[in-house]
Amino acid sequence: MEALRTMIGLSKADTTAILARNHVPALVVMGTRDPDFPDPVAEARWLADTLGAESLLVEGAGHYPHLEMPERVAPQLLDFLARVCAP
């Protein structure tokens, strides 16, 4: 819970400042209709570029694409995990 509280309490500037420190494989999953962002596609691309990550844009999904369209997210997530966890 401590990590969650810290994360929720960070401003966008705080978050942006620490993103470049990421050194692990990441997959940004975002719905194209995420109401939390004025332009979800641009946000996902920016985040993926900043993290050096891959992105998965789920057309028509909102803030929870993994719940809204698991049939589209799960195979892509499993593929990502297989690639980054392979020996």
Cβ within 8 Å of residue 79, ≥6 positions away? none
Q: Is residue 22 scored above 90 in pLDDT?
A: no
* Domains of the chain, residue spans: 24-85
Tens digit of each residue's pLDDT (9 = 90 or more) over 26-82: 999 999 999 999 999 999 999 999 999 999 999 999 999 999 999 999 999 999 999
pTM of the full structure? 0.83
Cβ within 8 Å of residue 32, ≥6 positions away? 40, 41, 57, 58, 59, 60, 61
